[in-house]
Amino acid sequence: MSPVQHPVTGHVLTFSLADEVRTVRDALGPPRQRSGRTLVKDGPLRVTLVAVGAGGGLEAHRAEGPISVHVLEGEIAFEAEGRTWTLGPGDLLALDHGIPHAVRSERGGVFLLTVVLPPGAGSGAAPSRAAPRADAHDADAG
């Protein structure tokens, strides 16, 4: 996927989520099972659109700040604290900071990930494998 080619910071940002969903969905395909597109990266706020292909997912990791996951298309299984939540279009899940979590999808799905970083987090330092940065979701996956 090409680098971000739209503003991700500013006083007012608007997006056509339908167009953005098409962009991340079109980036999926062998061998890529995950695609992400940063929509907002301003101060502590990160909003990333994530597409997961059938059978794909995100390995267990932690976010430095609280997150929300809003499913727009398909279905995902969100795993945290020994439980699994099956989320479909319109479902919203919120999770506190530092809780290990993973995402998988049997049939594929698209979700909007919002992360609010604490002060000083996400400064660009190399992430630890044991506790990836909250914006690890930010990167284009592949």
Name the percent of the chain lying above pLDDT 90. 73
Q: Which of 2, 54, 60 is nearest to 28 (CA)?
A: 54
The domain spanning residue 70 has which CATH number? 2.60.120.10
Whole-model pTM?
A: 0.81
Does some domain include residue 7? no
Please give the Cα distance from 51 to 12 (Å, whole number).
Answer: 25
Q: How far apart are CA 46 and CA 32, in angstroms?
A: 23
> Residue 127's pLDDT is what?
38
Q: Is residue 78 part of a domain?
A: yes
Number of domains in the chain: 1
Per the domain annotation, does 12 fall within a domain?
no
Reply yes or no on whether the pLDDT at 7 is more than 80: yes
Residue 10 pLDDT: 87
The CA-CA-CA angle for residues 29, 137, 45, to 5°, reads 135
| Inside any domain, residue 16 | no
Q: 41 is in which domain, residue-wise?
A: 36-119+129-138
Q: Summarize pLDDT for 103-137 with one digit per residue, the tens.
A: 999 999 999 999 999 998 865 433 333 333 333 44
21 lies in a domain?
no
Model confidence at 51, pLDDT cuts 50, 70, 90, reads very high
